[in-house]
Amino acid sequence: MTDDGGYASNVLTVPTFTVTGSSVTPLPTTTTTTTNTTGIYAYKFVNFLNVGSTGTDVTKLQQRLTTEGVYSGSISGYYGALTKAAVKKYQGLHGLDQFGYVGPGTRAMPQRGIIA
């Protein structure tokens, strides 16, 4: 979570659980693609990303970090040490705490036109 001042809280790990009932509606966990004012498609990150994460979110993150000039590794879709270092560098350049994961504070950056 991020407070009104833009400060991200610590990581909260919640064990797996099951919700049952007839009125349960699953929340979307997918990401969306939007068009920014320059007409360039931007990827909206909605999931927490950290070392060990894989998939399209990480691929798009690595591509964006490459564009920002902070990542020069392979676009592998795996969040490893190189991606973590690049995220830390990106966070430092934009005045964020350098945790090395993509949490609420870093994900909020697209709304300010930086990652978008």
* 19-78 per-position pLDDT tens digit: 565 555 555 554 444 444 443 346 777 889 999 999 999 999 999 899 889 999 999 999
Domains along the chain with CATH numbers: 1-116 (1.10.101.10)
CA dihedral over 69, 74, 77, 79, signed as positive or negative: negative
CA angle centred on 87, ends 84 and 89, rounded to 5°: 110
Contact 86, 98 (CB under 8 A): no
Q: What is the pLDDT of residue 33?
A: 45
Q: Tokens 């020069």 belong to which residue? A: 72
Contacts of 114 (CB under 8 A, 6+ apart): 94
**What DSSP state is assigned to residue 114?**
S
Can you give the pLDDT at residue 106? 86
Taking only the tens place, the pLDDT of each residue in 77-106 is 999 999 999 999 999 988 899 999 999 888
Tally DSSP H helices, then E strands, for the chain: 3, 2
